Structure 1
């Protein structure tokens, strides 16, 4: 006897998941080709959907790019907020923050490429985002809190600006990814070996701690 065919399952409509999937694919496209070179049709093809669907959720290429930037900055700031730096002594808290920054940026080269591309655009899209500016303000607040606790405890020297300290940490971490290929070729060194990665992380942490130390 022929068994009855079960009715097809109804596809669940999850706009939030769809938006997240589009942003994930678009991140790779924008990071690889920059804003000018990225193509919405290739993003749609990778999503196995239509350009119309992309525009339905984001309206324009510009809006999608801005959403990608906001997501990229949001992820690093969210993880930073979960480090629980207030539970650590100042030196260990700063050590943890610096090591995290080094590791996160190395593990997320697309983030570095997006930042580089936005700098080439002179920050025109970033300037439109209140959320990115607010999230980065909290990052400075975290650095300031750790640093000030260290000054109060007598383990950090006074007079260092929190924005400058944050910039120094970012610069030392950023270079490892942004200049990886050119630096490796010019100086004939393997910056991607586990030993080189560990050594570079330790050196960056040490440089920052010596800079702020009494």
Structure 2
């Protein structure tokens, strides 16, 4: 697995009241330090057990300054989630697929959906995020804002595959995208089920790679007009 570049301290929260572009450099640096420390604290302890005092100390600021920018611990957590989602989505969307054959383009899209979850902190935040969104009203955020572009990538890839005769013509692209996301990335936020039923530890690089190969082959098999044997649905994969 290729490592992701370490950009965790580069978060500039757009949800802190002032956009990064308008904020002076010293404020941008302060916001980066606060959200970077918050990301580490939330990933390590979860939302319930994270302490704003510890976040402030790690960021080298006062607790009062944290609350100056973020009205509550939950607001800070929502901001960290939004910025992490924005980074992951932006990275996913920047990958060009049109030069690839439809089948390989779909494989690349699925692989790139999984890639951010190589980051252990993101995996932990994703688990916390699911619990948070289930119990809070979620305002418009980076994920919802960028989702239409991701859906368009899937629609275009599927349409090219239908035109080339590689993919079935009776597949709903948006449903496929949702199912593909669940079939691939959900393993990282439901590690207990995967460990119990498949004996895979998603924190282990080799096991995570086994899951990636199987999950991608599973989605490909669902859309192929003629099922081949290029990607066997086994642990070994191709």
What's the offset of the Cα at 1:25? 1.7
Q: What are the equivalent positions in structure 2 for 1:28-177 lying under 5 Å apart?
A: 28-105=40-117, 107-123=118-134, 125=136, 127-177=138-188
Q: 1:87 is paired with a residue of what secondary structure?
A: coil
Assess, with a 3 A threshold, how the Cα gap between structure 1 residues 94 and 187 changes in structure 2: closer, same or farther.
Answer: closer
Provide the rounded CA distance (Å) in 2 between the counterparts of 1:59 and 1:103. Answer: 32
The 8 Å contact of residues 29 and 38 in structure 1, kept in 2 or not, is answered as yes
Kept after mapping to 2: 8 A contact 1:66/1:126: no
Q: Residue 137 and residue 189 in structure 1: after superposition, are their counterparts in 2 closer, same or farther (change >3 A)?
A: closer
The 5 Å alignment of 1:191-210 reads 195-210=206-221
The structure in which a higher percent of residues are helix is 1
TM-score normalised over the length of structure 1: 0.79
Q: RCO higher in 1 or 2 (8 Å CA, sep ≥ 6)?
A: 1
Q: CA RMSD in A?
A: 2.7
- Which structure 1 segments of 5+ residues have no match? 1-11
Q: Unpaired segments of 5 or more residues in structure 2?
A: 1-23, 226-238
Q: Find the structure with the greater CA-based Rg.
A: 1
Where 1:157 maps in the other structure, the secondary structure is: coil
- The aligned counterpart of 2:14 is none
CA spacing shift, 1:202–1:30, aligned 2, 3 Å: same
Could you tell me the TM-score, scaled by structure 2's length?
A: 0.72
